[in-house]
Amino acid sequence: MKYDLLVIGAGPGGYVCAIRAAQLGLKTAVAERRETGGTCLNRGCIPAKTLLHSAELYRNVLNGAKFGITAENPKINVEKVFERKNEVSAKLREGINRLFKANKIDFYSASAKILGEGKALLSSDGEEEIIECKSIVIATGSAPALIPVEGADLDGVLTSDGLLQMNDRIPEKLVIIGGGVIGMEFAEAYSAFGSEVTIIEAMPEILPMMDKDISRNLSVIMKKRGVNIHTSASVNKIEKTDEGLCVHFSGKTGEKTAVCDTVLIAAGRKANTEGLFGEGVNILTERGRILTDENMMTNINNIYAIGDVTMGIQFAHAASAQGIFAAEHIAGKKSCTDLSVIPSCVYTSPEIASVGLTESEAKKKGISVKKGKFMMSANGRALINDDERGFVKVIFDSETGCLKGAQLMCSRATDMVGELAGAIANKMTAEQLLKAVKAHPTFSEAIAEAIEDSMGRAVHVAPKIR
């Protein structure tokens, strides 16, 4: 069989790439060795956020008295919580499969090995078939990375994949190794479900890649909810004891231990490239991840790579944007997407979102900036929701007046960041952003207030002392 394009991997990068290619008239095939939807839909974003939603509802029920609503003896139906998680993923998988059929995309449930430019070997249940194609897009994604620590292979020591598959119980005591996005989202969910959660993070702060105001505020909120956080800490070993799993680690004040029934290793992800390249196919990589040019093409003509398997930010929406970009390039179309502007999102409560430069990053680049910040404690909608310690911060270039970055920590932050990402991509100024009137009461009013603050004229911010 001959195709214009073979996409290897049907995750959020691969399936979106295939659909866009088919829309542009390319005869397209997809090879996927597991379920359609990839990690995000089956073992990542979607099931994790479904759990987070259930956890938030449970916390709201427990705290309902302050809103005048009480419920006697609320309980978690663990089976139903995880059943719903699986139902959501299944429904989205069915939707992708229907889209493949509607767009006349051939789907192969098979592993793929690239034999060279324009040729791949598909393998499934002992059967093999060679596919010829003009272009190939690698969208094989990533898997949880393990850590080289004694005891990491013990029963009860899990990655995010394993924890999401543990459908029969909520851990009584959970130790999370890693305070990044994955670690903090699981800490949010399981602490709300009632688990005693301990986080061990090697860097000086949780969410180390985020703005420091975000890291510090989230740390305060999590500790208030009973989460134990140890930063600047390294794990030495994990052992099985009569009390359960014992995690030995070195912290700021010396050697410590944390006893639990479950350990989550959330220490990053590694690219899925094992068995992907045939003999003589020398795709350039760095730290195990595929290198690409500005068009997402590898060092071999007509072989592209997108998403987590490449260098750069690891988010589903980044993979989807790259997939569309690559499909349009293959079809000879100019893409309108700016791949340098990708929001980062964390689905804790409150939500966290960041796009563009932080204040410290701008300083390192030698960019003079004007900063505006608005605390959500003065936002009517946030007060109605009884939200904690939120803010919106915006960073403008002092010379051009263009928005360079934004950081949000508030309800609906992951939705609102899209407006600011568009503003950065389109080089919009404060004046342009303020042309549209925000509805009241809304969380998005805080964006306008933060922009006004950068200009020294925010209405709901006390004048700065001169």
> End-to-end CA distance of the chain, in Å?
73
As a whole number of angstroms, the distance between CA 17 and CA 24 comes to: 11
Three-state SS letters, 406-423: EEEECCCHHHHHHHHHHH
Question: 139 — phi, psi (to 5°)?
Answer: -135, 50
If we measure between CA atoms, which residue out of 260, 256, 82 comes closest to residue 155?
260
Residue 107 CB contacts under 8 Å (≥ 6 apart), including other chains: 10, 29, 30, 32, 36, 97, 100
The widest CA-to-CA distance across the chain, in whole angstroms, is: 76
Can you list the positions of beta strands (E) in 59-139? 106-109, 111-116, 119-124, 127-138
CB atoms within 10 A of CB 92: 16
Residue 317 among the catalytic residues: no
Selecting among 53, 248, 317, 440, the annotated active-site residue is: 440
Angle, CA of 124, 12 and 283, to the nearest 5°: 65
Angle, CA of 255, 259 and 263, to the nearest 5°: 100
Q: Which residues are catalytic?
A: 440
